[in-house]
Amino acid sequence: MRFINLVFKDLIRDGKIVVYMDDVMIATATIEEHIQILREVLSIMNENKLELQISKCEILKTNVSYLGYEVDQHGVSPSKRHVQALEDFPVPRSVVEVQRFIGLTSYFRKFIQSFSSIAHPLYELVRQNTFCFDEACLKSFQELKDKLVCQPVLAIYSPSAKTELHTDASALGFGGILMQEGVDGNMHPVMYFSKRASDAESRLHSVVTVLHVNTSMVRLRMNVYSNKSYLLSYMDFWIDQICIDPHLHILSI
């Protein structure tokens, strides 16, 4: 992996390609640009005596499936295969099955607003010594399925687009939505973020918002700090006590 990143470092730096492990991905707006970058990639591979496995190559595709996601010009969504697996998932009859369901849905948690709050009954069930799949668990199970079976679409992050981070918090947990302005002039969700509050955090009423803002900023720092960003949150007089990047525009709502 280090070698691949090294030989393609210039193309990676210029944002022409994305490298994951030994996979190289090219995404462009036009066929001409795509072919030009493809030639650069092949030239570098030839210089470094790297070989392609043709059976694994996909060229000039308008959409691709990768790592459980489907990506096209509209955005990114859970793959149809994973959506089908969720749709077919039966009501759990054991803690192990609940854990499997949590693992499957948690992989796509960035598509679900307030994931931690919705999944709370299932997490609590796993922590118990006895298995009791009650109405709260069934509601949580079905709601998570419904939100992913509809195959939600998130916008693809753009370093140059206007960015907003919407945050909120309660005694149960923290939540955030990273949004960006699209070509249509509207704000679109790029990802959702949520975290359950620990027992200690849930008792810190006076600083709970500081905690959730800090948590969101740390989790999304690469996205928020890469361009002109706005933080929208329910805040009080202590906002000046939060150590936040000066380039971030803070809007209290």
pLDDT digits (tens, 9 = 90+) for 58-114: 888 999 999 999 999 889 999 999 999 999 999 999 999 999 999 999 999 999 988
CA distance 24 to 12: 10
CA distance 237 to 142: 40
Tokens linked to 90? 């039966």
Name the CATH architecture for the domain at 77-150. Answer: 2-Layer Sandwich (3.30)
Q: Which residues of 226-250 are buried (b: 16+ CB within 10 A; e: fewer)?
A: eeebebbbebeeeeeeeebeeeeee
Name the CATH architecture for the domain at 163-237. Answer: Roll (3.10)
Confirm if 117 and 172 have CB atoms less than 8 A apart.
Answer: yes
Which residues are 64's β-sheet partners? 71
End-to-end C-alpha distance for the chain, whole angstroms: 45
pLDDT digits (tens, 9 = 90+) for 7-41: 999 999 888 998 998 899 998 889 999 999 999 99
Domain range list for the chain: 2-67+245-252, 77-150, 163-237
On the 0-12 / 13-18 / 19+ scale of CB atoms within 10 A, 200 is: exposed
Q: Which residue has the tokens 């000066």?
A: 246
